[in-house]
Structure 1
């Protein structure tokens, strides 16, 4: 009977900091549902990005995509770290989390208008996005106020409350005040500084083992891994969208089959590369490395979503009228792949505090996407250029599995030994 009550009852319970080394801590079904909402937001942003570039608004589309993914990723990061430290799974926690999810949906609804405002009007219109952000912040502020009732983490929680409230007021001004475009960009930059500074200030409170909120290293590593997988889902969706466009406009040819196959392989290669990073093991013993690791993942999430948009744009290259140029499509895929590979390499080196020396194939792998861009401008067909870009992450995987893992393991063992 006791187990049945624990399994089905979600009554209110005091929000206390969870143990930092709680055994068998894993992502919850609610967190998985939360991530699916963000998958939808990534999908909308990627589709708008691809359509904007195809319509000839490349510069505006890039800027809008960067702003959109930054907003979506930051909203996810805020909740992920809070839940890792204070998740009670009672009915109130679930309700406030669902409020935040509703805000993400509103934010996603506002993405097309934000893209359109930059591409056509030249005026930054993010009012619906900010409305969604306000809804998310209401839910998150309520969560932090609950956490503030724990004396051990009251200072941390109230610090978060202050920074979130100030930043939110700033976003309201950016969205609704009649600011010139330059002033709006400057105000947005100041808001981002406040957003990023809140966790830095809050997590420095306390001493020793009690410093910062009690997030769980392996749980947070799993959460980041799951969002990476969610973002990789956009590469699959982008490939499917391209396949549909190709089949409807010109039917299936050998070139089209190779292009679609390369898109699928790109998903596998990026996932395999990401799984090489020893996030949980290092964060468990070097908690202070979490800021660079956590913020650095923004480039990973955004680059993966951008690859999905680039794969979606492949379909526009096969249109009968005004097809998208091959160099543009390859740029949309190769540049995010380069950002992804560089980010993975730098974060891995930062976690173990050792550069990945002795793997010359890694340097070659970084150059292959650049070579793909050069070949595209030289006039080679899309399928050939895409295969060259794909060879970059594939070569990283091959180098790792062919023996590079030994060096990576040695670096990990040294980092763990230093902590011990």
Structure 2
């Protein structure tokens, strides 16, 4: 029987083994705000790269990816554990969506100020976080009051939100240089990630509860859905790389090849991401959730970076880029390499198993990307070199479908036997 009203109900915690737990329409709506954030970050990073300002482009992109992904993580893990879907929960989620939009609106100022090199202007980004965290703080305090068994953990999360947000506000208004800002930002980012781990690990001693009641299959699905949204930046990058060129001079062979490379690369990255049975492994190894959850920040950043690289390819085709063919190919190849390597590391983190086949597939991917860069350096057209980049994820796909699936099946079988034995 579906819920026909949304009156407030106690936030006592969800069942972590609830059958058929899936993403809710509200969670999908929440994720849509991140489409804008990823798109703005990719466009800004690509613009700086095309201008030849590589260092500021990469640093600004990395900082924006952490800010965007961390905002999503804060909400998503809480929602998996305590979602009540009542009117108050819905309204606080809407407030967080407003905060994400404000965060996205502040990204251009951050990128431009970082490039100018005087100081970093992230005031608008911080304002967006304040909006999000006020709503998130209310949610954690509500859970602390209505779910006594998780009270200490919830209060630990709340303390981290308040302390780190005060730190970001101080850093935003302090007249510090860019290097000082980056060092302080790295320390605050470390505190952001350490706080939840400390809350979960030491929040409720003596109770036998070492975790909020998040749902493994639900979390794996949520991360997969964000990966798809992030891959959308690759589609946007492909379209952006072609729109001006096709609009100005019509379809050319280079434009057609970039369209093929961008679409094929996005598809290959999607296939590769879903090779790992995250839900099953996470369900059996909940203690590995932090390494997996935080590691996916790099995965998402790499996927968005591919889209930004395709933006750079568009600037190159339009003759508006200071990067040559090699630099343009590297703008796509490097994030592809980061994604593939970190994706395998994520599997190793969850399974604690390293197959020789995996090492061969990673080396094959590195070799393919190296060939693509070497081809561009040898004078092969950038668009043809991107086709070689497109083939890099296919190495993992073919290797898994041919042999790798057997290794994964054995791991899952062993885990199932251990679970039955326990």
Q: TM-score range by the shorter chain?
A: over 0.9
Task: Name the SS for the 2:264 alignment partner.
Answer: helix
What's the CA shift string for 1:75-102, capped at 9, x where partnerless? 1011110000000000100111111110
Residue aligning to 1:137 = 133
Over 3 Å counting, the alpha-carbon distance change for 1:322 and 1:16 in structure 2 is closer
How many angstroms does 1:252 deviate by?
Answer: 1.4
Matched, 1:170 2:167: yes
Aligned residue runs from structure 1 range 10-21, under 5 A: 10-21=6-17
User: Structure 1 residue 123 and structure 2 residue 152: aligned?
Assistant: no
Q: 1:77 aligns with which of 70, 73, 95?
A: 73
Q: CA deviation at 1:39?
A: 1.1
Query: Residue 376 of structure 1 corresponds to which residue in structure 2?
Result: 376
Determine the C-alpha separation between the residues in 1 that align with 2:318 and 2:228: 30
Q: Aligned residue for 2:198?
A: 201
CA distance in 2, matches of 1:61, 1:153: 42
In the alignment, which residue of structure 1 is the partner of 2:417? 417
Q: Deviations over 1:276-303 (max 9, x none)?
A: 1111101112100101100000111000
**CA distance in structure 1 between the partners assigned to 2:347 and 2:273 by the alignment:** 10
Change (3 A) 1:119 1:157: same
Aligned residues: 416
1:220 aligned residue: 219
Separation in 2, partners of 1:187, 1:61 = 19
> Are the equivalent residues in 2 in contact too, given 1:311–1:333 (CA < 8 A)?
yes
Q: Which runs of 4+ in 1 moved over 6 A?
A: none
User: In structure 2, how many angstroms separate the alpha carbons of the residues matched to 1:396 and 1:60?
Assistant: 32
Distance 1:358 1:138 in 2: 47
CA RMSD of aligned residues (A): 1.6
Residue aligning to 2:307: 308
Check 1:329–1:294 CA distance in 2 against 1; reply closer, same or farther (3 A cut). Answer: same
Tell me the residue number matched to 1:351: 350
Seen in structure 2, the aligned counterparts of structure 1 residues 322 and 112 have a Cα distance that, compared at 3 Å, is: closer
SS in 2 for 1:358: helix
Q: What do the CA deviations read for 1:9-38 (whole angstroms, capped 9, x no partner)?
A: 101111111111011111000100111101
Contact 1:249/1:320 (<8 A) preserved: no
Rate the CA distance shift 1:209–1:217 in 2: closer, same or farther, 3 A. farther
The 1:322–1:197 alpha-carbon spacing in structure 2 relative to 1, beyond 3 Å, is closer
The Cα offsets for residues 305-357 of structure 1, whole Å up to 9 and x where unpaired, read as 00011111111111246564211211111010001000111111221111122
SS of 2:39 mapped into structure 1: helix
Could you tell me which residue of structure 2 aligns to residue 186 of structure 1? 183
Partner of 2:156: 159
Aligned position for 1:247: 246
Q: Distance in 1 between matches of 2:3 and 2:419?
A: 38
Instruction: Kindly indicate whether the alpha-carbon contact (under 8 Å) linking 2:230 and 2:303 is maintained by their aligned counterparts in 1.
Output: yes
Matched residues in 1 for 2:298 and 2:371: separation? 22
Residue-by-residue CA offset, 1:137-163 (whole Å, 9 max, x unaligned): 111101101100111100000000111
- How far apart are 1:186 and its partner, in Å? 2.3
Q: TM-score, normalised by structure 1?
A: 0.95
Instruction: Tell me the residue number matched to 2:98.
Output: 102
Could you tell me which residue of structure 2 aligns to residue 325 of structure 1? 324
Structure 1 residue 209, shift from structure 2 partner: 6.0
Structure 2 CA distance for aligned equivalents of residues 352 and 321 of structure 1: 46
1:121 deviates by 4.6
SS in 2 for 1:203: helix
- Per-residue deviation at 1:245? 2.0
